[in-house]
Amino acid sequence: MKLQHQLWLIYSVLFILVCLSVFMVISNRYENHLKIGYGQVTITQGAAMLDRLKETYPYAPKRSVAYLRNFSQQFNNRLIILDQDKQVYADSFGQLDQQARLNLAILESAEGYTSEFYNTENFGYVQYTLLPFTTEAEHEGYLLVISEASQLSDEIKSFQFWIMQMLGIALVVFFVVSYFLANWFSSPIRKIIFNLKQITPQKRTFSMAYKRNDEIKELIDAIEKMSDRLNQYDERQKRFLTTSSHELKTPLTTISLILENLPYAKEDEEIYNEFIQDLAFQAKKMKQMIEQLLQMNAMWDVGSRKESINTQDIKAHLKQSFQYIAEDKNIALEFDFAAIDLYVDKTLFLRGIDNVVSNALRYSPANQPVKISIKNVQDEIKISICDRGIGISPGDVEHIFEPFYRSNDATAWNQEGSGLGLYIVKQMVEIHQGRIEVNTELGQGTRIDIFLKNLK
Ligand SMILES: Nc1ncnc2c1ncn2[C@@H]1O[C@H](COP(=O)(O)OP(=O)(O)OP(=O)(O)O)[C@@H](O)[C@H]1O
Ligand SMILES: [Mg+2]
């Protein structure tokens, strides 16, 4: 069922409920109001009659009946006088015996003037009014007035009919108004759906003008932001794919060139061996590059899953990974780790740190130490990797986090490397909502500081 129709249905059901309660309340009020009016009239008439009736009570029952008959014809009702024990004394119809006891509910409740209405099977709507009186000689008695009240029920019915007509008209008006109202409320949602359906792999932008400041506006903003982010991500992937293919082509071109010339080099063993060495080097480079690309792909696809890792484990991991490389260059790996539990995505985090440490080792001459420290700084964790290596020139620093970027100094210093290491580090830091700082001086060394929020 469409949202618009759901809203319409809810409005309508609510309105019908409201109408019904209004109808009940108003018609009840009106009925009570009418009954009070009818009661008043009878009480006034009864009081007038009592002046005469008191003269004959309780001494002359026959004359009382005559009076009663007279009044009864005049007012078109039945009059009964009851004695103080509520037994019949005189009846205008002359049908009830003296001292007969009537079985009427009004006689039970009566204290003072009372008027009650009953819907009887034989006579329709009937009004009973009981008026207590006391004669001058202190004799107590009651006058019971029984009158037909069909006019009252007619008035109530016609009033109810009138209200129903009014409510019926209001209902029709409401149905129409609420239909358009529901339509108006849900129209932005339909517009959003329409715009979303227009999105294709080629055209992925989402924008929609909307003036009100409500949840729909929030939804539109969220979709716009999401589409922007997805587009950025997509753009980055595309750019990355183009750059990667381009970068992979370079060693491949070299490999095919060498392979083309290999048959001619067969005669000269020295050149032949050189060719084979170059082939092995280019293949290794490609392998490294592909490994880095796979790592990055994994990083993009997997969302971060935080786990706890302590600095001891990090130290053990780094020692295991870099001890031999460091020993080979006679580089001392110095650790200064505070005892901290870090909440990070372990795989991404270690991959990032590995890349920075590997750079420090790769771009340092022999015998120069590499210092790695982890400590708490205010509410952040600071990881520093410091070397006394070749350093980075100011012109290169701003590019080192770009994929495949390698400075000329670095390439001259060490042929190996694809220029993806720091790009991966940057991704890791972004995923952990941290930041990275580079302090470096050409020929002096480099310190990379990574700041992470240690949040669970
Ligand atoms: N500790 C460092 N000392 C000097 N230069 C550095 C250092 N770390 C990074 N660089 C510079 O930043 C560039 C990018 O580093 P990155 O780690 O991304 O690539 P890479 O080390 O060349 O290759 P790989 O993808 O194998 O890591 C390096 O080529 C080098 O120019
Ligand atoms: Mg590197």
- For residue 161, the model assigns a pLDDT of 94
Domain 3-158: CATH class, spelled out: alpha beta
Separation of 275 CA from ligand 1 center, angstroms? 27
Domain limits, the chain: 3-158, 198-301, 302-453
Q: In the structure, what pLDDT confidence band is assigned to residue 301 with cuts at 50, 70 and 90?
A: low
Between 332 and 246, the more confident residue is 332
The token duo for 2 is 């469409």
Higher confidence at residue 337 or residue 240? 337
Which-ligand-closest: CA of 397?
Answer: 1
Residue reference for tokens 């095919």: 256
Q: How confident is the model at residue 110 (pLDDT cuts 50, 70, 90)?
A: low
Which residues contact residue 195 at a Cβ distance below 8 angstroms, ignoring those fewer than 6 apart?
A: 206, 207, 208
pLDDT, tens digit, 9 for 90 and up, residues 164-217? 999 999 999 998 998 898 888 889 999 999 999 998 888 888 888 988 888 999
Mean pLDDT of 299-328: 87
Return the CATH number of the domain spanning residue range 302-453: 3.30.565.10
Instruction: Give the residue whose CA is nearest to atom 19 of ligand 1.
Output: 419
Q: What is the CATH number of domain 198-301?
A: 1.10.287.130
Q: Which of 422, 423, 437 to mutate to test the pocket of ligand 1 (most atoms within 8 A of CB)?
A: 422
Q: What is the pLDDT of residue 212?
A: 86
pLDDT higher than 80, residue 111: no
**Alpha-carbon 442 to chain mean position:** 54
Describe the strand order of the beta sheet including 380-387 as a list of residue ranges.
333-337, 370-377, 380-387, 445-453, 435-441
Q: Which amino acid is at 422?
A: L
CA of 310 to the centre of ligand 1 (A): 27
Stated length of the chain:
456
Separation of alpha carbons 202 and 2, rounded Å: 30
**Cα R_g (the chain), whole angstroms:** 51
Q: Which residues approach ligand 1 with their CB closer than 6 A?
A: 288, 292, 355, 359-360, 363, 387, 389-392, 396, 400, 405-407, 410, 417-423, 446
Tens of pLDDT, residues 113-133: 888 888 888 778 899 999 999
Q: Quick one: which ligand is closest to 296's CA?
A: 1
**pLDDT score at 368:** 96
Q: Could you tell me if 3 and 189 are in contact, meaning their C-beta atoms sit under 8 angstroms apart?
A: yes
Q: Pairing between strand 370-377 and 380-387?
A: antiparallel
188: CA distance to ligand 2 center in Å?
A: 51
What is the C-alpha separation between 339 and 430, in angstroms, rounded?
A: 24
What is the rounded CA–CA span in Å between residue 105 and residue 100? 16
- Is residue 192 within a helix (H) or strand (E), and if so which, with residue range? helix 150-197
- CA distances, 422 to each of 14, 365, 419 (Å): 63, 20, 7
